[in-house]
Structure 1
Amino acid sequence: MKKINVKIANKLGEKFKEANIQKNVNSTEVLEVKEKYNPILNYDEFELENLQKEQMIIFEEKAIHHANELSKNTIALSKIFYEAQKTLAFAGSGLFTKWYETLGFKKDFVYMLLKRNELFMEVENKRIFEIPEKAIKTISKIKDKVDVKEILEIVNAEKPVVVAKEIEVSLSGNPKDRLPEIGDIEILENDFNKIIKLERKIAEYYQKIKDLEYELSILKKSR
């Protein structure tokens, strides 16, 4: 029985040591982030423990960084597709499609970037690469009926999809093309809040499962 206790104690000691190492690494990372990054969100409102708040600041900084990198890559890719399409335009039918499909790109992805690049060449605003695809599709449908000023109004709007739809409806004059009501927007926001709550519950259950798996592994080794 004493041997079993020694085994468990050693195992717990190793686990404690790993946790301390991880904590030190996190602390170092937090200090580095705090020196160069000012968080957008106030994590005091999230009802989190201090360590969790610090981790969320790190996650936020990394998310913003990678989002910026993604935006740069999207702009670069859109230019590449545009130039490749132009180069292959007179070389033969279907060659551009064959080219991007062989490289592993999907048609919808490629042509959405081509639309973004086309609009960017007209309005010269990089937010073209950030607004939702639905807004881009609506702009593409109405761009021959509106001027650059109205396109920029959509691009710079807080809710580009809603503004784009509003302009489209005003051009069509069709009352059936109803804009989203305030109630519709509230439902979407409520759904988003529900998603966050469910994700938190999943994370809690996942942690409980991990703890149980750890206890089970100790019991199995002690047999």
Structure 2
Amino acid sequence: MKKINSKIANKLGEKFKETTIKKESQQTEVIATKEKYNPILNYDEFDLENFEKEKLIKFEEKVIYHANELSKNTISLSKIFYEAQKTLASSKTGTFVKWFESLGFKKDFVYMLLKRNELFMEVANERIFEIPEKAIKTISKIKNKVDINEILEIVNAEKPVTIAKEKESNLSGNPKDYNPQIEDIEIVENNLEKIRKIEEKISKYYKKIKDLEYELSILKKKK
């Protein structure tokens, strides 16, 4: 019996050593990974002391890490809200809204995530969760009129909002005639015309009031 126990003890000891070595190795790998971080920015271009440069590189590493985590959380939330909406599809109207608002989420935020998730299921590109809301809204308007390649062009663009608006303009039927500056001028001119008409009405009412006041003063004198 004692010999068997001794063998078991030896095996357990060896296993413990292996586990300890493995953990130490993993910890070393984590430290090594942190030391290998290469900054995106060239801090030599900044007028900084060495200690300031080192601090900012650490800040940059943390910013990138948390930005990536934020993107992951956005993707996860989008999927969760999508599944929750499906689950409550047969429930009484407003149940889904009541559910997420009770959890502290705003309607605009949740429905924007649902739009992103819907587009992601069509184009399978996670950049959908990173581009501005304006681009998402424009894509949602035109997605049934364009093919997937055009949507991906917007999603992958450096300025997705601009590209999305250009495509929306092209679909309007008069892409060559589209000119935002001319459009703005026309709006201003229309507003000026409205202002002029309102001022004319005010002038007429003002004259009428004056006439009535004069008539009233004469009536009072005759008393």
Please state which band the TM-score falls in when normalised by the shorter chain. 0.5 to 0.7
Aligned residues of 1:169 and 1:177 also touching (Cα < 8 A): no
Aligned length: 149
1:60 partnered with 2:60: yes
**TM-score, with normalisation over the residues of structure 2?**
0.64
- What is the aligned-residue identity percentage? 77
Residue number in structure 2 paired with 1:42? 42
Amino acid at match of 1:136: I
Q: 1:145 to 1:63 in 2, by over 3 A?
A: same
Q: Distance in 2 between matches of 1:112 and 1:86?
A: 16
User: Match of 1:104, as an amino acid?
Assistant: G
> In 2 relative to 1, CA 58–97 (structure 1 residues): closer, same or farther, beyond 3 Å?
same
Structure 2 counterpart of 1:178, one-letter code: P
1:123-165: CA deviation from partner (whole Å, max 9, x where unpaired): 0000000111111011001101101010000001111111111
Does 1:74 pair with 2:94? no
Moved more, 122-131 or 34-43: 34-43
Describe how 1:1-223 pairs up with structure 2 within 5 A.
35-174=35-174, 175-176=177-178, 178=180
* CA distance 1:32–1:178, change in 2 (3 Å): farther
Is the partner of 2:80 in helix, strand or coil?
A: helix
Measured after TM superposition, the shift of residue 33 of structure 1 is 7.9
Amino acid at match of 2:166: E
Q: CA deviation at 1:50?
A: 1.2
Residues 157-206 of structure 1, C-alpha deviations (whole Å, 9 max, x = no match): 11111111111111113545639xxxxxxxxxxxxxxxxxxxxxxxxxxx
Higher relative contact order (CA 8 A, sep 6+): 1
Is the CA contact 1:132–1:161 (under 8 Å) kept in the aligned structure 2?
yes
C-alpha distance in structure 2 between counterparts of 1:52 and 1:33, whole Å: 22
Normalised to the residue count of structure 1, the TM-score between the two structures is 0.64
Q: Which has the larger radius of gyration?
A: 2
Match of 2:214 in 1: none
Residue matched to 1:216: none
CA contact (8 A) 1:33 1:58 kept: no
* SS state at 2:180 partner: coil
1:48 CA drift (Å): 1.4
**Which runs of 5 or more residues in structure 2 are unaligned?**
1-30, 182-223
Task: Report if the CA contact (8 A) 1:81-1:110 is conserved.
Answer: yes
SS at match of 1:162: helix
Runs of 4+ in 1 over 2 A off after TM superposition: 31-34, 173-179
Letter in 2 for 1:125: N
